[in-house]
Amino acid sequence: MITIYTDGSSRGNPGPGGWGAVVFYDSNNQETRDKKQWVTEIGGRENYTTNNRMELTAAIEALKFVSELQTANSKLQTVIYTDSKYVMQGITEWIHNWIKKGWRTAGKKPVLNQDLWQELLDVSSNLDIDWEYVAGHTGDHGNERADTIATSFADQLSVDLYDGPKSEYK
């Protein structure tokens, strides 16, 4: 089981932006055959972007990371928590109609961020994913940490990304 928290941030919208993700998973040590709960934080930045693009990028990059954890014979159950209703509804509801309509909205306008929606669809196609909405800024530790990572990258502030045992994660 893999649990992911994602968030995106943009200053100015559009403006400088950042994305962050916190990934909880089982790590197998091949030498000792130990299975440990592990946490890896990832994040990044773009100079000129929107909040929605950063929210999508966080999900895409987290799923790319998860794809590397899987073996050819395993399909790991993954839960993604996002505070973006845009991402949540887009990937679970709207995307199917956009595809049927040639990447047009119900109002017949081109879908915004189509490039990222297509990439998200591509990286999620071979994964078993449950998408969950979590309200932002309500004290949920995973969501708060993903937000801190995203805003730190957007503001070009130093942030220490954790990669280690869950037992030592603060």
The answer to whether the peptide bond before residue 165 is cis (omega within 30 degrees of 0) is: no
Active site residue 83: yes
Please give the structure tokens belonging to residue 25: 């998973």
Residue 7 appears among annotated catalytic residues: yes
Of these residues, 41, 55, 61, 119, which one is catalytic? Answer: 55
Catalytic residue check, 141: no
Contact 83, 143 (CB under 8 A): yes
Place of tokens 């000129």: 48
| End-to-end Cα spacing for the chain | 20
Q: Say which DSSP state 139 is in.
A: S
- Other beta carbons within 10 Å of 99: 14
Q: What 3-state DSSP class applies to 15?
A: strand
Which is catalytic among the residues 41, 46, 119, 147?
Answer: 147
Which helix H or strand E contains 8, and what residues bound it? strand 2-10
Is 119 a known active-site residue? no
Exactly one of 7, 46, 61, 119 is catalytic; name it: 7
46 catalytic? Reply is no
147 among known catalytic residues:
yes
Q: Which of 68, 137, 160, 168 is an active site residue?
A: 137
User: Which residue among the candidates 41, 61, 83, 119 is catalytic per the annotation?
Assistant: 83
What residues act catalytically?
7-8, 55, 83, 137, 147
